């Protein structure tokens, strides 16, 4: 499928959706299970390009895995922080979490590993993490350009009592999560000091909670810029259920927001660890209403044309920048998104992707270095350039459910996180056929 023409939905659709498991939680759970002592089963797995890359990398360094696609589960025989093989090749593809987490795991281990990535991932930030790992004692040999893949990592190879390291996470909080999760297997105590300005740490809080769920005593946060990780008893094997992916759910809630519809997502949790839950608060401020039910969460959008504009700092849930930008033309007032400059270094320059595609649809906007302001307008027929970025494809498909002639190029890039996303969209159109547009 080279392109996908988005089909319009009528006003007031009724959407009832089950979304895949969380990508962020899937890859954290796989890493923690591998670092634990004993056999864990992780259920609710999101099987996607990213998680498949992660699973293959675990196999390539010797972990024994039992994968059940039907039950969406993976059983892993953890080695208590050790890698079964002392040599290996690790390929992380375009998966940012795999790149950061597996590089840190290899650097903490005893052995030598060659790590490579896709051309897209080679453009994304890695240098800050690689430098921190070198400062802690790993040897990093750059096989091409300094600060990126491919690299040859010689692990630290012995347990250290205490250590300190500084790292800048302005470009990615995954750098900090990688250090926090892998530290207990190698250090009795590791102090991590943050040197940048970014204070958006919702994904780091998720990491801390999942470490506890795998039996670790927890991270000591001495200040906003200082973390201390104690080895404690390490991680213990367990059965673990991954939450539904809130990031995926947000696309369907956004559809309800611009159509005056109702969207119910099954199995959503009030106590979710995922930072993108904050996007639901944004939709509330824009005029939507939320209703918790026994089996999930329902969002009801305002009448079409009554969605409110907003000025919002999205630094702590920036994956939803594209989603908000995609529905912004339908707001009654401008939408101003701030403090998301770091998304220029993700799968693509996402601020540039927003601007370019708004321009194709003749929607007025003002782009800034760290944000964008989008004005109300009627999207004109256009082909959306996805830049090989799954979130660009999924977000601007939301724009298309209320506009004529929106076509998504290269829709299969969604396989990174949500393989059947466009099939789900088609099913919504069929289910709501016959209603007034």
Q: What is the 3-state secondary structure (H, E, C) of 220-234?
A: EEEECCEEEEECCCC
Q: Is beta strand 296-300 parallel, antiparallel or unpaired with respect to 289-293?
A: antiparallel
Q: Which residue has the tokens 């009801």?
A: 300
- DSSP codes joined into one string, 277-302: GHHHHHHHHTT-EEEEETTEEEEEPP
Catalytic residue among 245, 319, 349, 404: 319
Could you tell me the maximum CA-CA distance found in the chain, to the nearest angstrom?
A: 68
DSSP state letter for 344: G
- Residues in Cβ contact with 222 at an 8 Å cutoff, skipping those fewer than 6 apart: 228
How would you label 176-205 residue by residue, b for 16+ Cβ within 10 Å and e otherwise? bbbbbbbbbbbbebbbbebeeebebbbbbb
Which tokens is 370 given? Answer: 């760290």
Rounded to whole angstroms, what are the CA distances from 38 to 64, 96, 209, 239, 413?
A: 11, 27, 20, 11, 35
Rounded to whole angstroms, what are the CA distances from 398 to 95, 198, 216, 258?
A: 24, 30, 40, 9
The three-class DSSP label of residue 114 is strand
Which tokens is 435 given? Answer: 């209603």
Is residue 319 annotated as a catalytic residue, yes or no? yes
Active site residues: 319
């Amino acid at each position: 499928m080279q392109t996908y023409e988005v089909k319009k939905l009528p006003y007031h659709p009724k959407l009832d959706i089950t979304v895949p498991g969380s990508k962020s939680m899937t890859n954290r759970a796989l890493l923690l299970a591998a670092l634990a002592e004993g056999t864990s089963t992780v259920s609710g797995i999101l099987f996607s390009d990213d998680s498949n890359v992660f699973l293959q990398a675990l196999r390539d360094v010797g972990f024994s895995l039992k994968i059940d696609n039907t039950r969406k589960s993976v059983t892993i025989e953890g080695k208590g922080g050790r890698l079964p093989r002392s040599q290996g090749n690790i390929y992380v593809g375009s998966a940012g979490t795999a790149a950061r987490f597996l590089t840190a795991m290899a650097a903490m281990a005893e052995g030598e590993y060659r790590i490579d990535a896709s051309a897209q991932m080679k453009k994304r930030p890695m240098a800050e993490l690689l430098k921190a790992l070198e400062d802690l004692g790993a040897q990093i040999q750059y096989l091409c350009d300094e600060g990126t893949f491919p690299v040859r990592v010689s692990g630290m190879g012995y347990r250290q009592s205490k250590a300190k390291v500084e790292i800048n996470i302005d470009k990615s909080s995954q750098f900090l999560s990688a250090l926090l999760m892998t530290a207990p297997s190698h250090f009795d105590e590791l102090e991590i000091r943050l040197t940048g300005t970014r204070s958006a740490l919702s994904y780091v809080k998720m990491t801390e909670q999942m470490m506890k769920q795998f039996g670790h005593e927890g991270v000591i946060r001495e200040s906003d810029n200082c973390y201390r990780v104690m080895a404690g008893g390490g991680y213990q094997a367990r059965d673990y259920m991954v939450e539904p992916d809130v990031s995926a759910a947000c696309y369907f809630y956004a559809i309800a927001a611009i159509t005056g519809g109702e969207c119910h997502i099954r199995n959503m949790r009030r106590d979710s660890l995922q930072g993108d839950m904050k996007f639901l608060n944004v939709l509330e401020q824009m005029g939507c209403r939320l209703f918790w039910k026994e089996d999930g969460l329902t969002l009801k959008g305002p009448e079409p044309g009554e969605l409110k504009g907003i000025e919002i700092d999205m630094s702590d849930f920036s994956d939803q920048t594209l989603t908000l930008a995609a529905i912004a033309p339908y707001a009654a007032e401008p939408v101003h998104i701030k403090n998301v400059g770091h998304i220029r270094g993700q799968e693509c320059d996402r601020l540039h992707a927003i601007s370019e595609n708004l321009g194709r649809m003749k929607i007025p906007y003002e782009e800034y270095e760290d944000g964008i302001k989008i004005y109300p307008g009627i999207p004109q027929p256009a082909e959306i350039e996805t830049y090989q970025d799954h979130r660009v494809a999924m977000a601007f498909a939301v724009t298309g459910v209320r506009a004529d002639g929106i076509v998504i190029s290269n829709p299969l890039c969604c396989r990174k996180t949500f393989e059947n996303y466009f099939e789900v969209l088609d099913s919504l159109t069929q289910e709501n056929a016959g209603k007034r547009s």
